Amino acid sequence: MYLGIDIGTSVIKAALLDRDGHQQAEASERMSLLEAPIGWSELDGEATWETATRVIRGLLRQTGFDPAAIRGIGITGVMVGVWALDENDRLLRPPILWNDARAQDLVDRLQAENPDLISAVFAHSGSVMQLGCTLPVMAWLAENEPDVLARARHILTAKDFIRYRLTGAVATDESEAAMAPGSATTRDFHPGQAALLGIEDHVHLLSPVARGETLAGAVTEAAARATGLKAGTPVAIGTGDTSACVLGAGAHEPGQAVTVLGTTCLNGVIFDRAVYEPRDLGLLFIVPGERWMKSMVNVAGTTVLDWALETLCPDLAAGDAPYEALGALAEQSPAGANGVSFVPYLSASGVIAPRIEPKARAGFNGLAPHHRRADMVRAVYEGLAYAIRDCFEAIGGVKSSIRLVGGGARSPFWSQMIADVTGAPVEVPEGTQFGAKGAALCAAVAIGDYASLDEACAATFALKARFEPSAESRKAYEAGFARFKAGSEAALGVLKAVAD
Ligand code: ADP
C-alpha cells in the first residue's frame, strides 16, 4: 500500500493505493484562507499541518488498514509561495501562496528598470513568472518585511513544509525549483534568476533540490504520534501538484497530451527535453523521471460551465444531477450548435491562453430568433472544447491521445466532444485523486517497488473510458472552430480598437 497526500489551496486530500495503483480509499478536509488584503493569499500554516494530520488519521481509521502496511508515502501540493521557518522550526508569518499578487508593484518597477526582465526569466525557466512564485515573494519580503528573511532559516513551500513536519528533512523538488523561477534545463534554482529579482543574498534559504522519485526520509516518532502513521515509514520527495496529476494520469511517454479540465483548464504535452517555445503564456512544468510538460493554462474552465448552469439553467441547477441534466440539454442541439458560438473568456484575470488580453470578455455569436437555450448551452461546452484545441495548437498540436482528468472528465458527452473537436482520442483514467496517486507513485519508485516512473506509470494506468474522434461531427466542428477563432479575434480586435 502507498499513501499519497495532496496539499491544495483550499483542501487537503489523501489517498491509499494498492501496489497496482488502484485507489483503495480517500479522505479530504477543506481549509479556509486567512482574511487578508485584496490580492493577498495566505494560509494558517500550523492549521494546515493539523488538517493534514486529521486527514491521514481519518483515512487510516476509515479503512482500518494497519499503518505498517503502508510501504511508502509521497507528497504533492500547490507549488511555490513562501513558508518561512525560523531556527526553532516556527513559521515566521502566515505562509504566502502561489496565487498571491502582492509583488505586482515590485515586479512592475523592476520591469520598468529592466524591460528584459520577463523574457530573461522565461529564457531560463520556460514559464511566465507568476507573482506568487517563491522568488518574487521573497523579493517583496526583502523590501517590506526584511525581519522575516533575516530570521528565516528555511524557505519552504506547502508540500515541503508538510514533508518537513513528517520527516524532519529539508528538501524541495525539481518542479518547484524551476517554477521559483529557476532553470528548466538544470531542473534546479538558478542564481541568475535571484539576481534579476535582487535577492541573491537570500538564496541560501532555499532548500536543496532532489528528484521527486527519491527518498526524503522517514516518518519521525513525533509525526507518527500526530498522524497515526508508523514511525520509520519511508517518505519520498514527491512533486508539484500539476506534475503529480500528470503522473497519476499515467502520462509519462513523450508526446502524450494531458488536459486537466477543472475550474481552470490546463493543457499540456510531455517532452523528454526542456522546450522553451511558445513563449506567450506557456508554462513548462518539470515532471519527475526526466520529463517536461509544455502547457497552456486557460482560465476558461468548468467555472464557465457553472456560470451557464446557474444563469441559463437555474431550473437544472436546482435538480439532483445538474451536470447530467445540462449535458442532456446540450445534446438536444447538434454538433456546431446550429451556428451559435461562444467565446468563453468570462474571467477578469486576463489570461486567455494562448493570448493575454486583460479586457477580453465572453460572448455568444450568431444568435438568431430560432435559437433555443439548448443551442446556447451546447455553444458553451463547444467554446471550452475549442479553447482546448486552441491551446494545443499553440503548443504544437496533439499527436497522441489526450488524457482527460478534472471535474469535466465526469461528462462522457463533453469527453466525446473534446475528441471530436481536437481530432485526438480522449482517454479518461480510472480513479479520482490523481495528484495523490502521482505522489504515491514517486514513493513506489523511491522504495524500489518499480525501477522507474516510466514503469510505474505504465503498470498502474487503468483506463475508465476512451472516446474516439468521430468523422461524423468533424465538419460541423471545423466550421465551429473557425467561428470560435473569428469570434476571439473579433473580440480582441474590437477591444484593441476601443483602447486605441
Ligand atoms: P478543481 O479545479 O477545483 O479541483 P474539479 O476538477 O474537482 O475542480 O472540478 C470541479 C468542477 O467540475 C465543478 O465545478 C463542475 O463545474 C465540473 N463538473 C463536475 N461534474 C461534472 C460533469 N458531470 N460534467 C461537467 N462538468 C462537471
ipTM: 0.96
Domain-located, residue 301? yes
Tens digits of residue pLDDT in 71-89: 999 999 999 999 999 999 9
Among 243, 266, 294, the domain boundary falls at 243
pLDDT of 17-67, one tens digit each? 999 999 999 999 999 899 999 889 999 999 999 999 999 999 999 998 999
Q: Average pLDDT of 258-283? A: 91
Q: Are residues 214 and 271 in the same domain?
A: no
Amino acid at 177: A
In angstroms, what is the span from residue 406 Cα to ligand 1's centroid?
6
Domain range for 220 is: 2-243
Say how far apart CA 329 and CA 316 lie, in whole Å: 9
Q: Is 417 in the pocket of ligand 1 (CB under 6 A)?
A: no
Q: How far lies 420's CA from each of 86, 251, 480, 481, in Å?
A: 54, 21, 12, 11
One domain, residues 304 and 373: yes
- Find out whether the beta carbon of 434 lies less than 6 Å from any atom of ligand 1: no
How many structural domains does the chain have? 2
For residue 6, give Cα distances in angstroms to 14, 15, 325, 406: 6, 9, 31, 15
Give the pLDDT score at 352.
Answer: 56
Question: Worst-scoring range by mean pLDDT, 125-134, 177-186, 208-217, 296-305?
Answer: 296-305
Q: Is 266 found in the same domain as 234? A: no
Contact between 124 and 181 (Cβ < 8 Å)? yes
Would the pLDDT of 392 be above 90?
yes
Last residue of a domain, one of 243, 265, 288: 243
- What is the model's pLDDT at position 278? 77
Find out whether the beta carbon of 411 lies less than 6 Å from any atom of ligand 1: yes
Same domain, 177 and 272: no
78 and 214 housed in the same domain: yes
Q: Is 406 in the pocket of ligand 1 (CB under 6 A)?
A: yes
| Cβ within 8 Å of residue 144, ≥6 positions away | none
The predicted structure's pLDDT at residue 374: 98
Tell me the three cell numbers of residue 356.
493575454
Lowest mean pLDDT among 44-53, 137-146, 273-282, 489-498: 489-498
For 76, 238, 261, the CA distances from 162, given in Å and listed in that order, are 9, 11, 27
Where residue 279 falls among pLDDT bands split at 50, 70, 90?
A: confident
The position carrying cell 508554462 is 283
Q: Does 328 lie in the same domain as 218?
A: no
Residue 249 resides in a domain: no
Residue 487 has pLDDT above 90, yes or no: no
Q: Over range 157-161, report the average pLDDT.
A: 98
195 and 278 in one domain? Answer: no
pLDDT at site 345 = 82
Asked if residue 415 belongs to a domain, the reply is no
Nearest residue to 56 via CA among 24, 12, 10? 12
Higher local confidence (pLDDT), 489 or 173 = 173
- What is the pLDDT, as a whole number, of residue 444? 98
Contacts of 102 (CB under 8 A, 6+ apart): 37, 39, 40, 96, 131, 137, 140
Q: State if pTM tops 0.90.
A: yes
Give the CATH number for residue 212.
3.30.420.40
Ligand 1 pocket test target in 11, 323, 432 with most atoms within 8 Å of CB: 323
